[in-house]
Structure 1
Amino acid sequence: MAESATFNKTLTDPILNSATAVPGFDVVAGHLYGTTPSDYPLARSKGKEVWMTEHYTDSTSDANDWTKAMPVALELHNSMVANYSAYVWWYIRRPYGLLTEDGNVSKRGYIMAQFAKYVRPGAVRVAATEKPYADVFVTAYKNTAGKLVVVAINNGTSQRQLQLQVGSAAPGFTKYRTTATDNTGYAGQYTVTGGVATAWIDPGSVNTFVSQ
């Protein structure tokens, strides 16, 4: 409930605050039309998951236009920071979708894959420095087997250095990357030395580091 177009909390707050209604549902859902992702402490305090169940960033441009695809990465990042447990894109197969009309994965689809392919059901988000630079956005996750996944978006025009400080949690990371020319491609190995792996991320890129 209540799946409003604008994630309208005035519709869901009374239900969450109702002792009669609150046991009867598991998920608070909403869409992102006309609004942006935001945390919902009341829902979390009641033990409810928060799902974003419909949105698309732009229906007027080609899904393979890289400059128009990067906002998908930022919206996914912001949804994770807002503690959403699900993000559902509207219309998978469209000229602006995750698949284009010919059935091929688009740049927007590969960007989503940087999250969805590696952050699987059962994983939890763990603490990470969200903005190590003004133009870099980072979230981190741990799956049920203890493997770490870090997603780092470089929305700027300069190469940036990341310090993945993980202690003894991982011996190293494999990086996968989507850019204007790469599609979730292998992008190198990074060894953890003294609890830290040092990596570089290119401008205009979405990067996923998966612990080995």
Structure 2
Amino acid sequence: MALTLRSLFFLSTAFGHCSALVGRKTNPSPAAKITVDTSITYQEVDGLGASQAFQRAEDVLGKDGLSPAHQAELLDLLYSVEKGAGFAILRNGIGSSNSSTSNLMNSIEPFSPGSPNARPNYTWDGYDSGQFPLAQQAQARGLPTLYGNAWSAPGYMKTNDDENNGGYLCGVMGEHCASGNWMQAYADYLVQWVKFYEEHGVKVSHLGFLNEPQFAATYAGMLSNGTQAADFIRVLAKTIKAARLDLGITCCDGIGWDDQEAMMAGLQAGPDPAEKYLEVVTGHGYDSAPTYPLSTTRKTWLSEWADLTGDFTPGIFYDVDGPGEGLRWARNVQIAFVNANVSGFLYWIGAENSTTNSGLINLLGDEIVPSKRFWSMAQFSKFARPGARRVEVSSSASLLYTSAFRNKDGTIATQVINNDTTAYDVTLSVKGAKLHSSRVLPYLTDNANNLTALAPVAVGRDGTFQATVPARSLVTFLTS
């Protein structure tokens, strides 16, 4: 039987003593040294998060039987720093459909106005496939970053006259339509979506206009290369400026990290490179993982990734290193931040009624079932907050993988992933920062624990402390 949210929540927040980190051992564990140096800094953190696009927001809002009380608990679990993971980024889909059948996302201009220069016929239902009320609830819990992302322009703006099955935006380089050039009309369309949100009290921070532009999907999508994306970015930037919106442009949500890297040359070319108008370069992890920095001076986000291959696996942190297991996703997050220098990491779906691993949390009627992937991401999101800086950290043990972040309030979050079959006795030293507390707070996720608060560990005046990291586990050490 799946655990209820209340029991899982208790596991994640109870500050009782736990013997998993410190206790009697019949056999000595191998020793390892971990050193954090806060004087060496890297990228700024924007946070972790997920999407609830394609009507998954309605799952959170009770479409399939989730009670109001459990809706509130789920929202806390996703977006509250105090009560849950504190996800900092929500990716909303900007709809391009003229109906809401199946899981389609409604367009704010469902039918063509007749031509690119005709007066648009915008419409706003105050719901946006459930995403608007979800965004209200998330921002009420402290969400700082709302990313509006269009999978496609409406079909009548595209070369194939269809929101699905690929097609290009009419007017970008090499793509012409009998109806005319729709680039300005599409820019106006996106900006109007943002205005509808902001006129009703929800701040949108980032705006994107493509999703996996290398893939002609049977669902909403639009093709583009880097040069064509650059054509539109210049138009969109001028439109945002004219509207006086405080809004960062993103591009291009390539289907894989390598695919996004291949688009960079087009974004950087010419006397007016489109890259300068971007705030974030976004890429996905499906075709290729984020294991290296993209060739850009802008921030980067891993803006979508998930295990789309297996049945939902709620209780497995480590078994056979399967694609949906928690340890695998802890490493995915860590590698993206450490090796690829990303500032943000987004799973595909946060919570949904599904039988697969496409979501972090499964909803079964009125029951909430978090996966170990969710708890692994929470170990980063809850403690490495927006505005933090990644800092240098090293480990003497090859199977102890590490990352560290210094928050704006001075707290330091160090994640230690033990991918070995044995526990390690760790000596961890913090250099370059004066610690103001005499204790360290450890949090553990493994097969038996979900973000469990362990007994505090004493820290010396030199910033050094000792702890035991269990086999096949993720421990976050929070120092202040």
The answer, yes or no, to whether TM exceeds 0.5 is yes
2:475 partner letter = N
Alpha-carbon spacing, 1:189–1:54, altered in 2? closer, same or farther (3 Å): same
1:132 partner letter = S
Given candidates 455, 459, 466, the residue that maps to 1:192 is: 459
Which residue pairs with 2:402 in the alignment? 138
Answering whether residue 389 of structure 2 is matched by residue 124 of structure 1, we say yes
**Largest Rg, 1 or 2:** 2
Alpha-carbon spacing, 1:186–1:24, altered in 2? closer, same or farther (3 Å): same
State the alpha-carbon separation in 2 of the partners of residues 66 and 58 from structure 1. 17
Given candidates 287, 290, 310, the residue that maps to 1:60 is: 310
Which residue pairs with 2:371 in the alignment? 106
TM-superposition CA deviations, 1:142-201 (whole Å, max 9, x none): 001111110111111110122221145323310011111111011121222233111110
State the alpha-carbon separation in 2 of the partners of residues 19 and 32 from structure 1. 31
- Which gives a bigger RCO, structure 1 or 2 (Cα 8 Å, sep 6+)? 2
Which residue pairs with 1:91 in the alignment? 349
Given candidates 137, 147, 172, the residue that maps to 2:411 is: 147
State the alpha-carbon separation in 1 of the partners of residues 384 and 332 from structure 2. 16
Which residue pairs with 1:77 in the alignment? 334
Gaps of 5+ in 1: none
Which residue pairs with 2:442 in the alignment? 175
Q: What SS does the aligned partner of 2:307 have?
A: coil
Instruction: Check the 8 A contact 1:63/1:108 in 2, yes or no.
Output: no
Once the two structures are overlaid, the 10-residue window that deviates more, 81-90 or 188-197, is 188-197
TM-score w.r.t. structure 1 length?
0.90
The RMSD of aligned alpha carbons is 1.8
Instruction: Check the 8 A contact 2:441/2:455 in 1, yes or no.
Output: yes
Once the two structures are overlaid, the 10-residue window that deviates more, 54-63 or 106-115, is 54-63
State the alpha-carbon separation in 2 of the partners of residues 66 and 195 from structure 1. 30
Alpha-carbon spacing, 1:17–1:159, altered in 2? closer, same or farther (3 Å): farther
Q: Give the percent of matched residue pairs that are identical in Structure 1 and Structure 2.
A: 24
Given candidates 18, 34, 37, the residue that maps to 2:287 is: 34
Instruction: Check the 8 A contact 1:2/1:12 in 2, yes or no.
Output: no
1:98 partner letter = L
Alpha-carbon spacing, 1:172–1:13, altered in 2? closer, same or farther (3 Å): farther
TM-superposition CA deviations, 1:87-138 (whole Å, max 9, x none): 1101222442210133332211111111111111111100001x43221110
Q: What SS does the aligned partner of 2:448 have?
A: coil
TM-score w.r.t. structure 2 length?
0.41
What does 1:196-211 correspond to in 2, within 5 Å?
196-211=464-479
Instruction: Check the 8 A contact 1:63/1:69 in 2, yes or no.
Output: no
Gaps of 5+ in 2: 1-250, 319-324
What does 1:15-54 correspond to in 2, within 5 Å?
15-20=267-272, 21-40=274-293, 42-43=295-296, 46=297, 48-54=298-304
Alpha-carbon spacing, 1:18–1:25, altered in 2? closer, same or farther (3 Å): farther
Q: How many residues align?
A: 208
Instruction: Check the 8 A contact 1:16/1:42 in 2, yes or no.
Output: no
Which residue pairs with 2:430 in the alignment? 166
Q: What SS does the aligned partner of 1:166 have?
A: strand
Alpha-carbon spacing, 1:202–1:4, altered in 2? closer, same or farther (3 Å): same
State the alpha-carbon separation in 2 of the partners of residues 41 and 19 from structure 1. 21
Instruction: Check the 8 A contact 1:126/1:142 in 2, yes or no.
Output: yes
